[in-house]
Amino acid sequence: MSDLSQLQQTPLTDWHAEHGAKMVEYAGFAMPVQYEGVLAEHEAVRKRVGLFDITHMGEILVTGPGAEAWLESLVTNRVAGIATGKIVYNAMCRPEGGVLDDMLVYRLDQEEWFVVCNAANHDKIEAWLQERRPTEGVEIQDVSSGTALVAIQGPASGKLIRRLGRLADQIENIDVLDFYNAFCHDGPGGRWIISRTGYTGEHGYELYLPNSDALAVWQELLEQGKDLGVAPIGLAARDTLRFEVCYCLYGHELGEEITPLEAGIGWAVKLKKDDFVGQAALREQKAAGVPRRIICLEMDGRGIARQDARVLCDGVEIGLVTSGTFSPTLKKALALALVERNVPEGQLAVDIRGKQIDCHRVDFPFLAARTKGDPDEPRKIQE
């Protein structure tokens, strides 16, 4: 779509355009795909700290005395009984087991939950929840249009967030904030949610803010982070960053025709918990043997294996590439592929524009995530 003015805007859209970002349409929003360039932005996050405007994500509040049990019946992972401030990675499935979306589920209070879904699936998930809402005990409020989301990612993210003036009285909470935990704070325009999460494989935070607070926070973070080498980061580098640590991307490694067991997120599927949508199908698939799996490939010849390229073993198709690119960190052409469970021994190749390019399997993930430990500790890269 050429006329980006007709798309949804974030509170930072004008800032992005004024500061040289290349803007594109994504999930109905005008979003920055890159500023300085993918390689430079990727390196900024791996080595220093980067800022992402990801306001296009969907946020839905679920409240009421029945909210806990109801959400437990819709998601694959266990959320019942978790402590306030805890976040759980989840999938929502169709009855047949395919993934409607992967998401984060926050417990903000005893009867208040916060569901964060992918931008492209926001309308689908909001409708899915509304269609299944009990007649009493559960209320749903889509707060996406009033919520901005800024991600601070990279080894220096902890130093940067501690310099944010509005969080000066929250340093102790930031210091003790563990991975996949959050706390709330009263900001100028309303409630903020400060979360130790991210999609880059680096130490980082995500800030959910009222729209009215977003620009001032963004500008302050850039000003306070100059000596740290802070940089604004576009969607292109966000994709290469998540790819290197093998985080799933909906529409690639996840989809309505792919189960979470096939996608490699079986650790987020609790088949022994109380019944949830899709549980019977997933139990049956596991019992019979999961037919497909995600594997990591490194190209031996020249060429980038793009999504839907055929993966071959001794010339016989065994699956398709889900994501592929040149890794800025590892300096290699790599790919994720969804292939048959029992791949025979033989020469692997990817069909790139009609030419079979040899490749070989490598360990999962390509690059180890550095989200839980000391962000200043150098990452060991396996060569």
Query: How many domains, the chain?
Result: 1
* Phi-psi map region of 357: left, alpha, beta (phi>0 left; psi -120 to 50 alpha): beta
Pairing, β 316-327 against β 87-93: unpaired
Q: Are 39 and 328 in contact (CB under 8 A)?
A: yes
Please check whether residue 357 lies inside any domain of the structure. Answer: yes
User: Edge-to-edge strands of the sheet including 231-233?
Assistant: 182-187, 190-195, 204-210, 147-153, 50-53, 231-233
Written as one string, the DSSP assignment of 5-35 is GGSB--TTHHHHHHTTPEEEEETTEEEEEES
Mean pLDDT taken over the chain: 96
Amino acid at 106: Y
101-132 pLDDT per residue, tens:
999 999 999 999 999 999 999 999 999 999 99
- Residue 311 counted as domain residue: yes
Residues of the chain short of pLDDT 50, as ranges, are 1, 382-383
Residue-level pLDDT at 382: 44
- Residue 248 is given by DSSP the state -
Looking up tokens 């903000």, which residue turns up? 108
In a domain, 295, yes or no: yes
User: What DSSP line would sit under 137-179, residue for residue?
Assistant: S-EEEE-GGGEEEEEEESTTHHHHHTT-GGGGGGHHHHHTPPT
Pairing of strands 58-63, 139-142: antiparallel
Asked if residue 29 is part of any domain, the answer here is no
Domain with residue 320: its CATH number is 2.40.30.110
Question: What is the enclosing helix (H) or strand (E) of 230?
Answer: none
DSSP helix/strand/coil, 67: helix
Q: Which of 122, 135, 132, 174 is nearest to 152 (CA)?
A: 174
Phi then psi for residue 66, to 5 deg, are -100, 5
Share of the chain above pLDDT 90, in %: 94
Query: Quick one: pLDDT at residue 380?
Result: 56
3-state helix, strand and coil shares in percent for the chain, rounded to the nearest 5:
25, 35, 40
Q: Is residue 310 part of a domain?
A: yes
Q: What is the pLDDT of residue 378?
A: 63
Domain that holds residue 310: 291-362
Give me the phi and psi of 299, to 5 degrees please: -75, 135
Give the helix/strand (H/E) hosting 227: none
Residue 135 placed within a domain:
no
Is 315 contained in some domain? yes
Structural contact between residues 184 and 191, judged by C-beta atoms closer than 8 angstroms = yes
Task: Confirm whether 66 is domain-assigned.
Answer: no
